[in-house]
């Protein structure tokens, strides 16, 4: 079986909520709570309604993490 090359995803990659939660190291439910309270990373809602599909731009997640780390270092 040929080896698969692991490459970094493109900067404009769209993450599913469970992928974003794994990257941030929280549960998908925590991410949903943050989304509801407006404290988590920026997201895009692809379909209307309560059960609408959510995607997180990779750049938004990494920027959000960087901001939180910068704040922790400043305190």
CB 59 within 8 A of CB 12: yes
Full pLDDT tens readout for the chain, 75 residues: 555 555 555 667 899 999 999 999 999 999 999 999 999 999 999 988 888 899 999 999 999 999 988 767 765
Residue 33 falls inside a structural domain = yes
In a domain, 4, yes or no: no
Q: Is residue 3 part of a domain?
A: no
Give domain status of residue 9, yes or no. no
Q: Is residue 36 part of a domain?
A: yes
| Distance in angstroms (rounded) separating the CA atoms of residues 24 and 1 | 32
* Domain residue limits at 25: 14-74
Structurally, the chain folds into a number of domains equal to 1
Global pTM reads 0.76
CATH code where residue 52 lies = 1.10.10
């Amino acid at each position: 079986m040929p080896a698969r090359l692991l490459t970094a995803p493109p900067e404009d990659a769209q993450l599913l909520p469970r992928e974003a939660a794994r990257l941030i190291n929280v549960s998908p439910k925590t991410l949903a709570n943050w989304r509801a309270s407006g404290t988590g990373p920026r997201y895009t809602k692809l379909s209307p309604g309560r059960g609408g599909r959510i995607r997180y731009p990779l750049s938004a997640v990494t920027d959000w993490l960087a901001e939180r780390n910068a704040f922790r270092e400043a305190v």
